[in-house]
Amino acid sequence: MSETNRIIVVTSPTIPGKKIVRTLGLVRGNTIRARHVGKDIMAGLRNIVGGEVTEYAKLLAESREQALDRMLADAEKLGANGVISMQFTTSVIMGGAAEMMAYGTAVKLEDE
């Protein structure tokens, strides 16, 4: 995506200094990730001794970024230059696998 096509993403329903001139609809992006046996072993050890479970923190961060990238690609297809009310949600698909979804409302914005 070029700098001229940059999409503003916010969790709020408005953007200060911008006005929504057109609502384009729901956009979303998701990814489904499965846990890794090696990471489960390390996480289990951390559970015994305490501390941050960095293996899962990294997996979640990667999942959020991928879902967000896919949502932005969906918004770009609609010609949006903004996404408002963006949220993340997760759901368990099966034991050891979960979905991360990013969604929001694609809009056309202009300066006020």
Yes or no: is domain 3-111 CATH 3.30.110.70?
A: yes
Q: Identify the three-state secondary structure at position 8.
A: strand
Q: What's the mean pLDDT in 64-87?
A: 97
Alpha-carbon separation of residue 79 from 7, 27, 33, 52, 89 (angstroms) = 10, 11, 29, 40, 24
pLDDT, residue 58, reads: 84
Q: Show me where the domains of the chain are located.
A: 3-111
DSSP result, 32-49: EEE--HHHHHHHHHHHHH
pLDDT average, residue stretch 49-69? 83
Report yes or no on whether pTM surpasses 0.95: no
Tens digit of each residue's pLDDT (9 = 90 or more) over 16-56: 999 999 999 999 999 998 865 555 555 565 566 666 777 77
Cβ-contact 82, 7 below 8 angstroms: yes
